[in-house]
Amino acid sequence: MVYDNRHRTLLQAIMQGGAVLEHDASLICTKIFGERLNVASVAQSINEKLAPLAMAMKSGICEMSGEKYWSIVGTTHEESITVPSQFNTGQRAFLREIYSEIISADDGCISSTDCLNMSTTLDVKLSISDADIFLKYLTKGKWLLIKNGYVFMGVRSIVELMPYFRATYQDNFHNCTLCKEIVFHGQKCENCDKVFHYYCLAKYASMQNESKCPQCRHTLDTSYTSFVADESTTSQVANGNREEQPMDVSEDDNDNGDEDDDDSENSPPMRRFSKRTRTQSK
């Protein structure tokens, strides 16, 4: 496919949305190109143009819902990737501390109360009210996700900042035994200590028609399966009627996207897994 203004319009829509759900990206493609196209194939054409700019259109999966999102990321060497410069000094320090606490936490999350209290312990302090406003902004932008009073790693952080996490926290991670990618919040087999994304286990259980650990065959708690399904459904409902109202792709649209569904349901299942001692964040 020849790169033209339609690709540029899609690129602008993804940049505007920050992290765009696969379903929405597909609707945008259909609206722009006048036919149903595979988002990944269009992204490949876009990435050929973005490569000289050290950028790429890349997808990632939300650990809480199992849904795929698209974002525009930097592709420079990992040492140069850092917390987004769009935030001020105090906000960046606050976000770095949140990341550090999530990554070092046994459950891959921290309470929103503890999160807000951290803002007063930084060298560059934020007031509780300013921290609360910023936390809501981070949630809306999908940098973080809040569920039932707990703060989790957001899909935009997972897509855009993985090089920063690897460079900063080094060995302080577990990798999913199924997909081999880093797990922030997932399930650990109590028998063999292998760790999995909830969505990977849900897919595996569906394909194998069983709820056993892929590594040791130990029977696993299947609550994660309904958990991922519920989160996916909640995300679809919270973002409205997608078939009729996809993201506007006009040149002058300043809409910042939909707001995340918050904490009205039961607490997510927690599967504790200990991590290595964290390294000092940059």
pLDDT at 255: 41
pLDDT of 1 higher than 90: no
Q: Dump the DSSP string for 114-172.
A: HHHHHTTSSSS---HHHHHHHHHHHHHTTSEEEETTEEEE-HHHHHHSHHHHHHHHTT-
**Same domain (yes/no): 115, 84:** yes
What count of residues does the chain have?
Answer: 282
pLDDT tier at 80 (50, 70, 90 boundaries)?
low
pLDDT at 250: 41
Could you tell me the CATH number of the domain that includes residue 153? 1.10.10.10
Full-model pTM:
0.78
Q: 10 Å Cβ neighbour count for 254?
A: 7
For residue 160, the Cα-to-chain-centroid distance in whole angstroms is: 9
How many structural domains compose the chain? 3
Average pLDDT taken over every residue of the chain = 81
Query: Quick check: helix, strand or coil at residue 174?
Result: strand
Task: Give yes or no for a contact between 155 and 143, defined as CB atoms under 8 angstroms apart.
Answer: no
Average of per-residue pLDDT across 53-77: 92
pLDDT of 91 higher than 90: yes
Output 110 or 245, whichever has higher pLDDT: 110
**Same domain (yes/no): 65, 125:** no
Q: 10 Å Cβ neighbour count for 54?
A: 12
For 8: left if phi > 0, alpha if psi spans -120 to 50, otherwise beta; the answer is: alpha
Q: End of a domain among 74, 89, 115?
A: 74
C-alpha–C-alpha distance, residues 191 and 216, integer Å = 8
Tokens describing residue 34: 């006048």
**Same domain (yes/no): 207, 125:** no
pLDDT tens column, 140-151:
999 999 999 999
pLDDT tens column, 151-191:
999 999 999 998 889 888 887 888 999 999 999 999 889 89
Could you tell me the CATH number of the domain that includes residue 26? 3.90.1150.220
Query: Quick check: helix, strand or coil at residue 90?
Result: helix
First to last CA, the chain: 42
C-alpha–C-alpha distance, residues 219 and 272, integer Å = 17
pLDDT tens column, 218-271:
988 766 555 554 555 444 434 444 443 343 444 344 444 344 444 434 444 444
Tokens describing residue 164: 């920063």
Q: What percent of the chain has pLDDT over 90?
A: 57
Boundaries of domain holding 18: 5-74
